[in-house]
Structure 1
């Protein structure tokens, strides 16, 4: 079993987004390698509460004196809760190098002495975060692995209004990061990169480093387990949308596109999530006269979301800018067939047997496509029972955290063998082409 130092500055099971991904990957890797996790001190209590032993299983690095001011500045600059993610990422990238400085101070001698077979930086997930460890590990003769890296999906030109609403001012100059000497050094010295999306793979191709494609997101199949569907043809189609209620997520598109089925009682729609668009969505429901068929539930816990998933047949998730799309995997694991936009992460998660990916375009085009597709589904033109089982099977085989840990272990083995053959784990970057 390989000895791996896993760098996961953001890793916390009690949080969402990057920290939750970091936690799940780091902990899953403990099942396939001899892993010691290095994280930031703000995660220490969560690690201890899950039974990990400090010093044996993990080390908490206290970089708060430097990091805390950047986090506070990011909260001021982002323009509102849940907005300005590019600003948050930029501030974190500025604060992160000090964390790695402290990591090297703590583990540098052990790395140089060959105590670890691989040093693997799991988080930050952003390709814009530099790493001084890459150069130091290369000098020590120890493979340094980056990833899964994901982010930077360009805003589609049809959604400039949504871009402005999200306070994504820095996204206009994001590509400038590639010219930073620290970034060039990071990729020049990395032994390999795990790309978490097709876009990131293409973005990082310029560095000509060995690259493996493994989608960023995974899923806890014990929490979101498969439940066979027993829907009769005459039963209403049970639709679900789960996500932050913001313009680019497309909850309004789901409502408007399905209004015909909702008005006639051929479908019901559960919307789970909260956000600034909540009131506007409630007004849209009233305007369209579909109050009896649409329920806005607000925020729900993961356990409650899992319960709603078990009752749904189809997820309508027309988000126009998703890096990963973890909620799509939650749906698929539960046997819910997803309808997604083929732009970014969600379109890479499904294939023609397990879901539907519609081409991106202006809002009115997406409304028409979802409308047309859902009507054909209600009419029985697609075997939802077979697709439901295929979706759950696809997740279990490719996207469970257990599967992901085994995929990454394959990368470790490849690095150790050094035979030049890049692993292929059966993912398709463009699943619906």
Structure 2
């Protein structure tokens, strides 16, 4: 495990690379991975690198863009079952070998681990192009939430093999790096995430929006933001809110997002405000207009929504896990409880709901913390990491390169 460091001299003297970035999700798809990649691609281009973006075609009318610094290569994909709005990229080894032989990238960065990503690693290894990867999503943890828990071990083995075929795997937290290292992952490096503190700001608080939610002038707005899906553990958030209502009858709960649990929550919890998908300034207003942010998920690799809530000046409550473990000091700039302690989560939610002054103070300190988590620094680290791998050559051990070449020719 390595936490990345770089110098100003390295950045100033950095060569300008042609990076092929392979992903199976991209805006306008709404998820943390797509948002993070958009930021990182913009960061690479802003630092003078050029990016070939390889991704599945999202709609039949989707057209590959070619703009300053960015050229898209669209591939075939299939919609993921039970995960609306996302696609699984189909294998594209032959096409990538042809494209990258014709116009060779300096480095290939693979952000997602589907069939498209696997064949991208294979093609890069065959051509001896340095290849790196991201670990964004605990797909093996998702299996139990979708009725295929027996797949957890095979999926975990696949992910480990996938990443160990690359020169470096970038993860967002030190805790995740340590966890993956114990599972046999090699060459793990930490690159954190940033937050846009101009977009996400307390200044976007809207009393009109609070009235739409049915929140009284001095009432309490409790918010959850993210996919409305089993892996987000929303049942705990709903139980915490029920306990809050016993102390604060004026409280309202707002769920921002969409997903397969939306209809059942609407039927079983008619008092919950289902705000649906929100974007940009509208999403920022939803955060800033709340008073307490609940994030009960235990399947995150990071959890960008935690930083977004903090930047909005909203007191966060989460498990001591992922982004929360990195940036929240309990009762200093938010609240965290031990992973899996559902009773503790509910108790702390009730405590924060009842303590207006404490909650306001924690939200103010959360904002100050977020202001120090800058995307520019994150993008500096990412660009410097790719340059280092490029300078080292392929960086892939002989055995991994041999396996990749054999699979590419099979």
Structure-2 residue corresponding to 1:35: 50
Distance 1:377 1:325 in 2: 21
The gaps in structure 1 that reach 5 residues or longer are 419-433
Distance 1:409 1:299 in 2: 31
Query: 256, 275, 280: which is aligned to 2:239?
Result: 256
Matched, 1:155 2:170: no
Structure-2 residue corresponding to 1:342: 320
Structure-2 residue corresponding to 1:24: 39
Deviations 1:73-129 (A, max 9, x none): x64xx3x3449x9xx7xx64x615445424422333xx5xxxx5xx25152367983
The gaps in structure 2 that reach 5 residues or longer are 1-13, 208-216, 393-410
Matched, 1:356 2:335: yes
| 1:345 Cα deviation after fit | 5.1
Cα 1:409–1:9 change in 2 (3 A) is: closer
Cα 1:37–1:305 change in 2 (3 A) is: same
| 1:174 Cα deviation after fit | 0.9
| 1:307 Cα deviation after fit | 1.2
- Secondary structure of 2:372's counterpart equals helix
| 1:254 Cα deviation after fit | 1.9
Aligned length: 360
Structure-2 residue corresponding to 1:61: 73
Cα 1:40–1:412 change in 2 (3 A) is: closer
- Secondary structure of 2:347's counterpart equals helix
| 1:172 Cα deviation after fit | 4.0
**Alpha carbons 1:333, 1:392 under 8 Å: kept:** yes
Distance 2:124 2:189 in 1: 17
Structure-2 residue corresponding to 1:303: 281
Deviations 1:188-225 (A, max 9, x none): xx2x332234335532573543x32123x543333223
Structure-2 residue corresponding to 1:318: 296
**Alpha carbons 2:113, 2:159 under 8 Å: kept:** no
Structure with larger RCO (C-alpha < 8 A, sep 6+): 2
Distance 2:253 2:196 in 1: 25
Cα 1:358–1:409 change in 2 (3 A) is: same
Matched, 1:214 2:200: no
- Secondary structure of 2:196's counterpart equals coil
**Alpha carbons 2:253, 2:273 under 8 Å: kept:** yes
Cα 1:46–1:325 change in 2 (3 A) is: farther
Distance 1:133 1:280 in 2: 44
- 1:38-187 matches, within 5 Å, as 38-40=53-55, 42=57, 48=65, 53=67, 56-62=68-74, 64=75, 68=76, 71-72=77-78, 75=80, 78=81, 80-82=82-84, 92=89, 95-98=91-94, 100-108=96-104, 116=106, 119-124=107-112, 129=118, 131-132=121-122, 135=125, 144=130, 146-152=132-138, 154-155=140-141, 160=144, 162-164=145-147, 170-177=151-158, 184=164, 186-187=165-166
Distance 1:203 1:278 in 2: 33
Distance 1:27 1:261 in 2: 42
Deviations 1:332-362 (A, max 9, x none): 221222212234455445343333222233x
Distance 1:196 1:221 in 2: 19
**Alpha carbons 2:146, 2:230 under 8 Å: kept:** no
Cα 1:383–1:228 change in 2 (3 A) is: farther
| 1:309 Cα deviation after fit | 0.9
**Alpha carbons 1:313, 1:336 under 8 Å: kept:** yes
Distance 2:122 2:138 in 1: 22
Distance 1:389 1:47 in 2: 43
| 1:16 Cα deviation after fit | 2.4
Query: 172, 183, 190: which is aligned to 1:196?
Result: 172
Query: 375, 385, 388: which is aligned to 1:401?
Result: 375
Structure-1 residue corresponding to 2:213: none
Structure-1 residue corresponding to 2:5: none
Cα 1:375–1:30 change in 2 (3 A) is: same
Q: Give the RMSD, CA atoms, in angstroms.
A: 3.9
| 1:183 Cα deviation after fit | 6.0
Instruction: Normalising by structure 1, report the TM-score.
Output: 0.68
Distance 2:141 2:56 in 1: 34
